[in-house]
């Protein structure tokens, strides 16, 4: 089975960012990877959770949701105490990934709220969320720049981007779309910094297993993809890029 | 206090629709009224609720939500059984308004799911939701047209649109934006058909009261606004307009 | 279809109030409109919600419920996070209606808790709730009269009463009972002050629409009904009536 | 400390029943024991819970609640998944007590829903609930009498009544009111049949303990109280009394 | 029907305690009565509930749960706001029983958290919980002994133990196991102090009733059982026994 | 900082299994890795979830919980709709890991319920859960062996075991205990088959990042650890080992 739209196995889907997508949140980015579309907003709250009060340190937390119309079959909203375990898992991943590149001590007593809401889902919504959330985070930090003693560069230790890789029909492929993800034997999400270090590696056999050689080929494919995504983030941020 | 952006009291904000905003739901419309932005999707489900099974009749239901980044202060998501009473009230209004112009008997055993998710909130999100949901509904019906014995025209008895009016600084005004809504003494939402009949009149004194004369002036202002909105719906739908 | 019990279209059901129905709450009124029976209590709490602490201002909030045995088919209690949207909508209406005639600044840092619990439901439970809650509110204010700097007259700007009107079989009717409400094409709830001003107009087409002429006839019918209800409130309160 | 209102230690509070208190539920009894007031309704549902479907046997279940205005300090409603452990415990007791005198096999595939809602609470609400629920149960059975093969007498094996006893200031007392209950060292609820058998004995030391002699004196006091309550039930039911 | 394992009617099942079963909680006891196995832990928290703050007094609270694999048919976990009424009732009983022998004034501002989690259920889990919780409580108090002004002896007024008794096949029996409990006509739980006083008597006819003579025989049987259980508690605690 | 108890960096903690720990569930294993203690039970249900009914295929699902006394600071139970995101994430991991080695088609229409309840937590509870759950799964399959057309060997494609590795003080270490886990810069959980294939790799920088070389060293360390754990599983299962 060749890839949809004649993509090469190591080719990303078209990736785009619309910054300042709305006027209400200080960071607000619409990220698209192929048809997958996520609205990433970042709000700054001048309070911190109870366990951090008085420690002079900030916090970053993330939430993830899918709009009901984002999938081909309508996705019911969480209601009345029901929990969507997949969403819980994803939002914890997004939060950890961004905290890994943020110097919370340099943030002051503030909470950064990342919200990633999926407008259209075609595979790779969690990785697009992380990639877009970094851009929204930078824009949100611009809005409080004057209150950061060490500036934005003091808060951000590195950039962060994410991508999925997987083995479909025995072939390692980069940036799976939904029909590939559904059929993949192995599915891996990579979260890496702009300087090429790992933050998170999550490789899962879907009722299947994989060898060390397969693991290595996926890591190589993903690492190359992250490099391209980092370039795209840098391009959209232009002068706002804090890591020059 | 003059209106923001030098609007006349009887002037609507710029109104626009982007149809087929996403590819996942059969009806998917991004409606904008000034800065207020709502994504209205309409999905078609081949099941009906239990109380209608076997009656050969359809159903239409609506849900409404605000994305966390849609307001200047981040709006927390509903979680763990907590209920947002305002959202409940609004989604019931949206559902009733659309059911008033739908012939459920001509729909067959199907459920139309309307979802209105606020991307940016600047006043009038419930009325923009209704106005946009009608356009999404028409597009969704196109996707099942061949299965409707009486066609789309048999399902839709009329079009529906909504607008807010209110008394601010003693002046009746059309289509309030947030800063006006916040200061209004009286706030009224009108839902009307394209043929000029009322579906819903909800006029509320906000810790205030109003006279019959004030009520009449608001009804006149709103009726004129609805006419313009109906024209805009007709323009965006073009040949898909089912009521010619 | 003539009205049940040979009522005239503009005739209220027999309306009665039992004040001090229980000894536990300072305001406690059993209101009956025909068979519809609601227990309205008003408690005074010496705290205010967080958003008002330290502002020297009071608050009023309302809750509404139906006892399981109040309807012909037993009504299940809310449990485990399930939400009854209709109850949410009604309790918000009751709260707004009473706040419209209360001067919260003259109340001091107190919360007035209105509870309306339906003992028997035969149509018009939300309007009976508002009508009865005003009487309970007056009695509750008596219990803290000595602590109100401007007295009860300083707290109450006006009285409030409510009634339903509707179009049944093409005929505008006042104070619908359940079998009429069920068959009505248009259903309107009016909340007005004793001095004849509007607080809330909620007119809904039930899978139907209505003309401006029909709207006007309903407003006239309701306004006349409110006048009679206000007289009944005044009669039951006697010397406790605070608005002479 | 003498008893309030100069009651003798072995004297019940004035006990009254209003049958057919509302018209909506087939059994509907307002029971009063002194100031304690409970509305007991009994509805008949033609379905049984899943575990009984197809077994030709009926079920009886009970729910208990307190209206917010029933206590001197307003009692918050259960919401959003919060649980009132005391209510859960009481409604399980009411259900067990009534099932003990009902022949579920003779009921057919029906569910009897008992609802006990406290209008005013002055001690002994759970025992008044059981006592009143029996009367409501008899009235509800009258409404389906013609469908019971063995008649009401076949369904009811006995009558049931309940009373509280306790040790206050070292003195065993019958039918405690709130101020006594609050100060009691030992609190016991007795549920017994009209023929003098025990259904439930629940004796609790409140941060205290009690001897066998004290237990015996409480059992004697309660047994005598139940006899009087049974007579009152019989008197209110008159010809409806099914156990002659 | 003779008893399983040829037990005499007045014979306890083999009873054992493993103290310090885990290293994480200061009190941690695995109690076994026949196959019934409960892990009782007691933690000490240096805070008290809001209603006790600043009163110089402590609190004790208990929770009870069953592991999913503890019963022959897997027991679903509580989730999303669903409530297990039986668990609520049992944990309230455990808390009351232990508070009856604890001098909360001598505890200081501390909360003792008792957790009873059923590893295997074969009847009598609530009584085993109470019996084991006392042992865990003593061990937990050892861990804060130096901070108790009046020592452990000042905190504990007495010991506490519990046992079930019931009438099966017309025969009063001590310490029912599951198959007996299931078939019992009367089921009674006794909670008593080491000095032979009652804390709680809960006797329930299971769709049945019982006479005063039967009640007396059950009380005698249970009282003798508690004496043996108290001896076993004393034996396992050895020098830690605080009541010599 | 040397390792606690003078462990070598590549040394596992003492690992033990108690099979048939309780009599109620067909698979019931107490697994210990150092002080970390988890009770893993496996129940067999003769039903499958709705999405699998009629497909002749089985299902396996897992739940994970921590007893309140399992940690040094008491862990509150989930209640009233609150969700513990970490537990959700872990139980999803356990379920996926076991499904990877189970041939669901050979299971017939049955659900295997895995429950992992932590008795004492000292790091590595999720990996101990997976390791122990495999043993419980084998025992549970023995109980339905005669109903499995292809036998246990047809259901199990391989064995599964898990271990944690991490970088502490710059040193890669195997099988972290709590104090190491708390201080680790990188934390990785490996789930592998007995034949040395990967099922899941989850490597997380804890507010930190890691290089490819560090990733490789952790994979090597973990792979060696899994081999030893597989041997221990084989030893405890003896003849029940299904994969010879």
* Predicted local confidence at residue F82, as pLDDT: 57
Q: Which residues contact A50 (CB under 8 A, 6 or more apart)?
A: none
Q: What integer best gives the mean pLDDT of chain E?
A: 94
For the residues B68-78, what does the mean pLDDT come to?
Answer: 90
Q: Copy the structure tokens of residue C182.
A: 């069920």
C149 touches E at CB < 8 Å: no
Q: Which residues contact B85 (CB under 8 A, 6 or more apart)?
A: C88, C89, C91, C92
**Record: contact C197-B210, CB cut-off 8 A:** yes
Which own/partner pairs from E149-154 qualify as long-range (CB within 8 Å, at least 24 positions apart)? E149/E106, E149/E108, E150/E103, E150/E106, E152/E242, E153/E242, E153/E243, E154/E103, E154/E106
A85 touches E at CB < 8 Å: no
Contacts of E118 in chain F (CB under 8 A): none
**CA distance, residue A110 to nearest chain E CA (Å):** 28
**A59-66 and A111-120 beta bridge pairing:** parallel
Q: Copy the structure tokens of residue B87.
A: 């959202």
Summarize pLDDT for A181-198 with one digit per residue, the tens: 999 999 999 999 999 999
C57 touches B at CB < 8 Å: no
D23 touches B at CB < 8 Å: no
Q: What integer best gives the mean pLDDT of chain D?
A: 94
**B111-120 and B36-45 beta bridge pairing:** antiparallel
Angle of helix B125-143 relative to helix B85-99, nearest 10 degrees, comes to 50
From B82, which residue of chain D is nearest by alpha-carbon distance?
D80
The span from the CA of D202 to the CA of A209, in Å, is 59
Given a contact cutoff of 8 angstroms between Cβ atoms, the answer to whether E111 and E44 are in contact is: yes
The span from the CA of F180 to the CA of F177, in Å, is 5
Contacts of F87 in chain E (CB under 8 A): none
Q: What integer best gives the mean pLDDT of chain A?
A: 94
**Record: contact B207-C99, CB cut-off 8 A:** yes
**Record: contact D100-E208, CB cut-off 8 A:** yes
* Predicted local confidence at residue B85, as pLDDT: 85
F81 touches D at CB < 8 Å: yes
Q: Copy the structure tokens of residue E171.
A: 């025969």
Is D225's pLDDT higher than 80?
A: yes
% of chain E exceeding 90 in pLDDT: 86
Q: Where are the domains of chain D?
A: 14-72+85-239
Q: Copy the structure tokens of residue A238.
A: 């232009």
The span from the CA of E73 to the CA of E92, in Å, is 25
Summarize pLDDT for E48-99 with one digit per residue, the tens: 999 999 999 999 999 999 999 999 899 988 765 556 889 999 999 999 999 9
**Record: contact B69-A115, CB cut-off 8 A:** yes
The span from the CA of F213 to the CA of E81, in Å, is 47
The span from the CA of C152 to the CA of C101, in Å, is 12
* Predicted local confidence at residue D80, as pLDDT: 52
3-state class of C69 per DSSP? helix
Q: What 8-state DSSP symbol labels residue A19? A: T
% of chain A exceeding 90 in pLDDT: 86
From D80, which residue of chain F is nearest by alpha-carbon distance?
F80
Is D172's pLDDT higher than 70?
A: yes
The span from the CA of C168 to the CA of C226, in Å, is 20
**Record: contact A25-B81, CB cut-off 8 A:** no
Is D14-72+85-239 CATH 3.40.50.300? no
3-state class of C187 per DSSP? strand
Residue F207 pLDDT class (50, 70, 90 cuts): confident
The span from the CA of B132 to the CA of B41, in Å, is 9
Cβ count near F3 (within 10 Å): 19
| ipTM for this model | 0.92
Q: Copy the structure tokens of residue E64.
A: 């009870």
The span from the CA of A198 to the CA of A194, in Å, is 10
Is A83's pLDDT higher than 80?
A: no
Strand-pair partners of C18: C30
Query: CA dist C240 to A4, C141, C234, Å?
Result: 79, 10, 9
Q: Which residues contact D95 (CB under 8 A, 6 or more apart)?
A: D60, D61, D62, D114
% of chain A exceeding 70 in pLDDT: 98
Q: Do the annotations mark residue E124 as ligand-binding?
A: yes
Q: Copy the structure tokens of residue B185.
A: 């003494």
From B82, which residue of chain F is nearest by alpha-carbon distance?
F81
| DSSP H helical ranges for chain F | 85-99, 125-143, 151-155, 178-183, 212-237
C81 touches A at CB < 8 Å: yes
Of A203 and D84, the one with more pLDDT: A203
* Predicted local confidence at residue F135, as pLDDT: 98
Q: CA nearest B159: which of B57, B216, B92, B235?
A: B235
The span from the CA of C3 to the CA of B224, in Å, is 37
Mutate to test the interface with C, among B198, B215, B220, B227 (most CBs of C within 10 A): B198
What H or E segment, with its residue span, contains residue F144?
A: none
Dihedral sign for Cα atoms in the order B177, B182, B185, B189: positive
From F30, which residue of chain E is nearest by alpha-carbon distance?
E119
Q: Do the annotations mark residue C124 as ligand-binding?
A: yes
Of A74-83, B21-30, B122-131, D91-100, the poorest mean pLDDT is in: A74-83
**CA distance, residue F81 to nearest chain D CA (Å):** 6
Given a contact cutoff of 8 angstroms between Cβ atoms, the answer to whether D160 and D199 are in contact is: yes
D242: phi > 0 → left, psi -120 to 50 → alpha, else beta; which?
alpha
Cβ count near F56 (within 10 Å): 11
**Record: contact E81-A83, CB cut-off 8 A:** no
F82 touches C at CB < 8 Å: no
| DSSP one-letter string for chain D | -PPGGG--TT-PPPEEEETT-SSSSSEEEEEEETTEEEEEEEEEES---GGGTTSS--EEEEEEEE-GGGSSSPPPPP-TT---HHHHHHHHHHHHHHHTTB-GGGG-S-EEEEEEEEEE-SS-HHHHHHHHHHHHHHHHHHHTGGG-TTHHHHHBSS-EEEEEEEEETTEEEES--HHHHHH-SEEEEEEEETTS-EEEEEEEESSS-B-HHHHHHHHHHHHHHHHHHHHHHHHHHGGG-TT-
Q: Do the annotations mark residue D124 as ligand-binding?
A: yes
The span from the CA of D56 to the CA of D89, in Å, is 29
Is B82's pLDDT higher than 60?
A: no
**Contact pairs from chain C to chain D, CB under 8 Å:** 89
**CA distance, residue F83 to nearest chain D CA (Å):** 12
Of E160 and D1, the one with more pLDDT: E160
Summarize pLDDT for D176-221 with one digit per residue, the tens: 999 999 999 999 999 999 999 999 999 998 788 999 999 999 999 9
Of A244 and E162, the one with more pLDDT: E162
For the residues B52-79, what does the mean pLDDT come to?
Answer: 91
Cα pseudo-dihedral E30, E32, E37, E39, rounded to 10: -20
How many alpha carbons fall within 13 Å on the CB side of residue D159? 28
B70 touches A at CB < 8 Å: yes
Mutate to test the interface with B, among A25, A29, A49, A69 (most CBs of B within 10 A): A69
Given a contact cutoff of 8 angstroms between Cβ atoms, the answer to whether A78 and B84 are in contact is: no
Given a contact cutoff of 8 angstroms between Cβ atoms, the answer to whether B224 and B191 are in contact is: no
| DSSP H helical ranges for A71-202 | 85-99, 125-142, 151-155, 178-183
- pLDDT average per 10 residues of sequence, chain C (244 residues): 89 98 95 98 94 92 96 82 80 96 94 97 98 98 93 95 96 96 94 97 91 96 98 97 83
Summarize pLDDT for B200-222 with one digit per residue, the tens: 999 998 788 999 999 999 999 99
Is F223's pLDDT higher than 90?
A: yes
**Record: contact F219-A211, CB cut-off 8 A:** no
Of D60 and A79, the one with more pLDDT: D60
* Predicted local confidence at residue A198, as pLDDT: 97
E54 touches C at CB < 8 Å: no
**F15-18 and E59-66 beta bridge pairing:** unpaired
**CA distance, residue A150 to nearest chain B CA (Å):** 26
From E82, which residue of chain B is nearest by alpha-carbon distance?
B81
C83 touches F at CB < 8 Å: no
Closest by Cβ to E65, choosing from F70, F77, F122: F77
D204 touches E at CB < 8 Å: yes
A201 touches F at CB < 8 Å: yes
* Predicted local confidence at residue E208, as pLDDT: 87
D81 touches A at CB < 8 Å: yes
Of B232-236, D2-6, E55-59, the poorest mean pLDDT is in: D2-6
* Predicted local confidence at residue F242, as pLDDT: 85
**B111-120 and B59-66 beta bridge pairing:** parallel
**Record: contact E22-F28, CB cut-off 8 A:** no
3-state class of C49 per DSSP? coil
Q: Which residues contact D220 (CB under 8 A, 6 or more apart)?
A: none
**Record: contact B24-A69, CB cut-off 8 A:** yes
Is B79's pLDDT higher than 70?
A: no
Of D36-45, D47-56, F227-236, the poorest mean pLDDT is in: D47-56
* Predicted local confidence at residue A60, as pLDDT: 97
pTM of the model: 0.90
F83 touches B at CB < 8 Å: yes
E79 touches C at CB < 8 Å: no
Is B81's pLDDT higher than 60?
A: no
* Predicted local confidence at residue E207, as pLDDT: 81
* Predicted local confidence at residue D122, as pLDDT: 97
Q: Do the annotations mark residue B3 as ligand-binding?
A: no
Given a contact cutoff of 8 angstroms between Cβ atoms, the answer to whether F156 and F242 are in contact is: yes
Contacts of E79 in chain A (CB under 8 A): 81
**Record: contact B89-C91, CB cut-off 8 A:** no
Name the neighbours of A, counting chains with at least 3 Cβ pairs within 8 A: B, C, D, E, F
**A186-193 and A198-205 beta bridge pairing:** antiparallel
What H or E segment, with its residue span, contains residue B133?
A: helix B125-143
Q: Which residues contact B47 (CB under 8 A, 6 or more apart)?
A: B109, B111
For the residues E218-238, what does the mean pLDDT come to?
Answer: 98
Strand-pair partners of D115: D41, D63
The span from the CA of C221 to the CA of C226, in Å, is 9
**CA distance, residue F43 to nearest chain E CA (Å):** 7
Contacts of B81 in chain E (CB under 8 A): 80-81
Q: CA nearest E118: which of A24, F119, A137, A28?
A: F119
């Amino acid at each position: 089975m060749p890839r949809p739209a004649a993509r090469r196995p190591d080719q990303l889907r078209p990736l785009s960012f619309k910054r300042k997508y709305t006027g209400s949140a200080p960071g607000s980015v619409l990220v698209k990877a192929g048809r997958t579309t996520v609205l990433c907003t970042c709000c700054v709250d001048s309070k911190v959770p109870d366990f951090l009060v008085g420690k002079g340190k900030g916090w970053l937390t993330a939430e993830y949701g899918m709009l009901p119309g984002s999938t081909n079959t309508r996705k019911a909203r969480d209601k009345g105490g029901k929990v969507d375990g997949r969403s819980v898992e994803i939002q914890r991943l997004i939060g950890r990934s961004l905290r890994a590149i943020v110097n919370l001590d340099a943030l002051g007593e503030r909470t950064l709220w990342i919200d990633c809401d999926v407008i259209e889902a075609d595979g790779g919504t969690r990785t697009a969320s992380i990639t877009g959330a970094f851009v929204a985070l930078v824009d949100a930090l611009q809005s409080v720049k004057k209150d950061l003693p060490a500036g934005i560069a003091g808060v951000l230790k590195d950039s962060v981007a994410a991508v999925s890789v997987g083995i479909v029909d025995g072939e390692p492929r980069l940036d799976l779309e939904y029909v590939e993800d559904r059929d993949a034997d192995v599915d891996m999400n990579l979260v890496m910094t702009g300087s090429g270090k790992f933050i998170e590696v999550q490789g899962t056999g879907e009722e299947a297993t994989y060898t060390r050689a397969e693991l290595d080929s996926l890591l190589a494919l993903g690492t190359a993809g992250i490099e391209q995504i980092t370039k795209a983030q840098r391009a959209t941020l232009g002068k706002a890029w804090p890591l020059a």
